[in-house]
Chain A
Amino acid sequence: MSGDEHEIIRPPNTLKSKVTYGPGGVDLDALEKAEAVIAGLKGSYLEWVQDDLVKLQEVYDRALAGQGDPRDNLREIFRIAHDIKGQGGSFDYHLMTQVGNHLCRFIEAAEELVVTGKSELAVVKVHLDALRLIIAERREGDGGAEGQKMVAGLALVVEKYLKRKKAAEEG
C-alpha cells in the first residue's frame, strides 16, 4: 500500500447487539448516583494519597542523601506527582491536582537543563510541603484565595529556579 492509498473497513457493530436503550439504563439519576458513589470514596482517597505523600517523602530523602541518579530520582518523583495530579480532582481535591501538575511541569522543565540535584530538590520540597498541607487541612475544591496564593507562590519559586539555571548555563 503506497502512502496515499487507504482502505476503509467496516467492522461488525457488536455493541449494537449488546447495548439496549430504555428504562433502567444510564440516565441523569444514575449518573448523579455514580458521582455520589465516588464522593463516598473520599475517605479511601485520603488514605491513598497519604501513601503517595509518604512515597514522595521517601524518594526525596533518598535523593537528598545523594543516593541514586538525580535524574532517576526526579523521574520517580514525577511518577508519584502524576498519580496525585490524576486523582485529586475526582474527590474534590482540585488543588492537589493543580499542585501535582505544577510539580510535573517543573520536573519536565528541569530535565531539559543540567540537573545537579540540590537546587531541584529545594523546589520539589516546597511542592511536597504544599501537598501535605492541603491534605492535613482538608483544603477541598481549589482551596479558595489561600489555595491560589499558594499556587502563585509555587510558580514564583519555579520561575526563580529556571532563571538562575538558565543564567548559569549561559554564563
Chain B
Amino acid sequence: MTGYNLERLNFLVVDDNKHMRALVKTILHALGSKNVLEAADGADAFKELRHFPADIIICDWNMSPLDGLDFVRLVRTGKDSPNPFAAIIMLTGHTEMHRVVEARDAGVHEFLAKPISAKGLYSRIRSIIEKPRPFIRTATYFGPDRRRKEMDYKGRERRKNSAAAASTPAAESSSQETGLTQAELDALFG
C-alpha cells in the first residue's frame, strides 16, 4: 500500500501541557516524521519560527502568556512574522461554535478536537497536503480562504465577520453548549 511520506516536513507542536506535546510528537514520529520541534506557548513558538521553518504548526488554544489564538494572529499578521503562510492546525478541547468560528477567523487551516487519534491528526495533515488554499487579504482578515473551494469570486466579501459565519446552517444545527463533533467541524471548515 502507498501513501504520503511525511519524513521531510517540519512540524512545530505548541502546547503548554507537556503530556499533550509528547502525545502529538509520538504520533508524528509513528507516521514517519523526523523533524518535530516543541514549544510551550505562543511566545516560545514565535521565537522558534525565526530559525525553524515549520511547514505545519499544530497548536493548542489555552496557553500563557501568549495563547493559541493570539499566536495565530501574530503568525498571520505580525510585521516580523517569519512565515505568514504557514499551515496551522488548531488542536483544542474548545469545540463550541463561537470558539471554532473565532479560530477560523484568526486564520487557522484546520481544526482538530481533543482527544486526538492518529487517524484524526493524519486526516487534517492530508487535507492540508491535498487542498492547498489561496490566501485572502481583506480589511479585516488575512489567512487561508475560508471558503476552501477555489473559485473566481468577484462579489462582495461575505465572511468578514463572525456573525455572518455563525448563521450558516452548520452553525444552526449544532449545540453551543456541548461543542461540535469532528464531523461538524469538518463541515464548518469545508
Contacts and interface: CB of A to CB of B under 8 A. Distances in A.
Nearest to B160: A3
A136 interface: no
A19 B4 contact: yes
A9 B107 CA distance: 14
Given A38-B117, A41-B23, A9 B122 contact: no
B156 interface: yes
Contacts of A168: none
B31 A30 contact: yes
Contact of A34 (B31, B114, B137, B145): B31
A119 interface: no
A86 B160 contact: no
Interface of B: 1-6, 8-9, 17, 19-20, 23, 26-27, 30-32, 55, 62, 85, 87, 92-93, 114-119, 122, 128-129, 132, 134-140, 145, 156-157, 160, 177-179
21 contacts: A1-B137, A1-B139, A3-B139, A6-B137, A8-B135, A10-B135, A15-B9, A19-B4, A19-B6, A21-B3, A26-B4, A26-B6, A27-B2, A30-B3, A33-B30, A35-B119, A41-B26, A83-B17, A86-B114, A89-B115, A90-B23
